[in-house]
Amino acid sequence: MIKLDLSKSRLIHFLLVSVGLLLYIPALGKPPLSVWDESIYANVARHMVVNDYWLIPHMYWAPDALTPFFQKPPLVMWLQATSMSVFGINTFAARLPIALLTVVLAVVVYRIGRDLYDWRAGVISGLFLLVFPSVYSFGHSGRSGALDVPLVLFGTLFVWWAYRGREDPSLLLPAGAAAALAVLSKGIAAGVFLIILAPIVAIYCQYYINLEALKGAILGTVLILLWPIYAYLQHGDAIIQGLILRQVERSQGGLTTYGDPIFGFMNYPYFDFILSNEYYLLPITIVALFIGWLIYRKGFSSTSSEIFLFWWVISVPITFAVVGGNHGWYILPMVPPLTILIGRVGTEIVTIWNGIFNESDNYLRLSTMKLLLLGVIVTLVIASVYPSGVGAGGAAQQQQQELATAFEHTDSEEVIYIQVGALEPRYYTFAFYVNRPLDSFTMEKANQNSPTYAVVKASTLTDMNRNYVILKQINDATAVRINN
């Protein structure tokens, strides 16, 4: 292992953080929040700031129903609400905490690769993670307002600290805290990290029977239970139904099946998904061949860390295939170990490369600065291939953000009425950007002088018996002011 002096360590941390901030921060404000998960969590955070619903999160599941939100734990939404308190209620503030945690995840991956192998493996791992497609560009990536990157960060810390806890039991206490933060990020989805760690605990169980392990387990349990107990005291069984039973029901058949899974019990073709996407298939193939080569050369006992990391990679899609996940982003927890293994391959290549050239060919050898510079350049080149924002942005979210601007001149307490079907497939993006109380719109209400501002289907305006002014129309969705 190559030792890393303090100045080099600081330089690498500075470069990783700088590259991460450069890649993740500038374009956070575009495109608009998606009409599904991202805008749901942002709306929950918005109500924490606007309506002071910090301890019991709320959102408009229906335009006339501002109700408690118990579908996910509140940790990430607390972070988003804190960001909105500082930067205002906008797209940038909703996505900022996740972007910053992604940069932290890159640093964590670097440190794991460094501690397992050497600084070169760590640098390659951290930079590769920053531009890995599912982390950098896709819908639930580190540039979105979704819960997945925080789950992956805290779950990765839990697995790593617990893995190292065999040798250093003092790490089992922070491992318990990290496990709790993973659960508080996305609920029972954090269970995948227990599956990842299970073989290590089974093989080395004697190293986990100690006071530090007990302390870690108690700390994690307490941190996990504090908020649900408070919510239960306030709202009873609703918290159990939303946070636990509904999630179990979804995994047992309540989720929509996508694609053509290999087995009937699967809701998503995870194996086909990996095989058909080169950004997963190629690195997995490379590390599988590399590990096979290492085992042939050194044997199993000298390749234990690589074998564990590969188990970490493959156990994630297997777990979600079995328990019933139905989206490709559920396998994001496999990315950190995959990038670390790529870093391990990279450091072997650099060692072989430098071994080829003697001192007379020193200009061809990859010194520290050359390797760092090359890594940064390659990272930025790869990043330039992707869109500047999160994905391309869907027509529905663009439409809903634009319609919300029609009500910018209204009082912040003005109720905006929404007709069923006027905003499809859901109205959550509109609700976030309009940032006003909502209610459901019906022609009966309109004809009884109730609403003043509404979003209705243009095709139904002929049924209205009151005068109105069209403020903005996009396709069939129409923002109107109804005159009294």
Q: Is the pTM higher than 0.75?
A: yes
Asked if residues 295 and 303 have their Cβ atoms less than 8 Å apart, the reply is: yes
Distances in Å between the Cα of 300 and the Cα atoms of 293, 294, 315, 348, 349 are 11, 8, 19, 18, 21
Going residue by residue through the chain, which has 484 residues, state the pLDDT in tens, using 9 for 90 and above.
445 567 888 999 999 999 999 999 998 988 899 988 999 999 999 999 999 999 999 999 888 889 999 999 999 999 999 999 999 999 999 999 999 999 999 999 999 999 999 999 999 999 999 999 999 987 789 999 999 999 999 999 999 999 999 999 999 999 999 999 999 999 999 999 999 999 999 999 999 999 999 999 999 999 999 999 999 999 999 998 888 777 666 555 545 555 555 555 566 788 888 998 999 999 999 999 999 999 999 999 899 999 999 999 999 999 998 887 878 899 999 999 999 999 999 999 998 888 887 666 677 778 888 889 999 999 999 998 887 655 545 788 889 999 999 999 999 899 999 998 888 778 999 999 999 999 998 888 877 767 889 999 998 988 888 889 999 999 889 999 998 7
Write the DSSP symbol of residue 256. P
Q: How far apart are CA 313 and CA 275, in angstroms?
A: 14
Q: In b/e form, how buried is each residue of 273-292, taking b as 16+ CB within 10 angstroms?
A: bbeeeebbeebbeebeebbe
N residues, the chain: 484
Asked if residues 66 and 238 have their Cβ atoms less than 8 Å apart, the reply is: no
Q: End-to-end CA distance of the chain, in Å?
A: 78
Q: What count of other Cβ atoms lies within 10 Å of the Cβ of residue 474?
A: 16
Helices marked H in 132-210 — which ranges? 133-136, 148-164, 172-186, 192-203
Asked if residues 422 and 385 have their Cβ atoms less than 8 Å apart, the reply is: no
DSSP 83-102: HHHHH-SSHHHHHHHHHHHH
Sign of CA dihedral 50, 55, 61, 63: negative
- Give me the residue spans of the domains in the chain: 6-30+70-258+363-384, 395-482
Closest CA to 68 of 248, 237, 252: 237
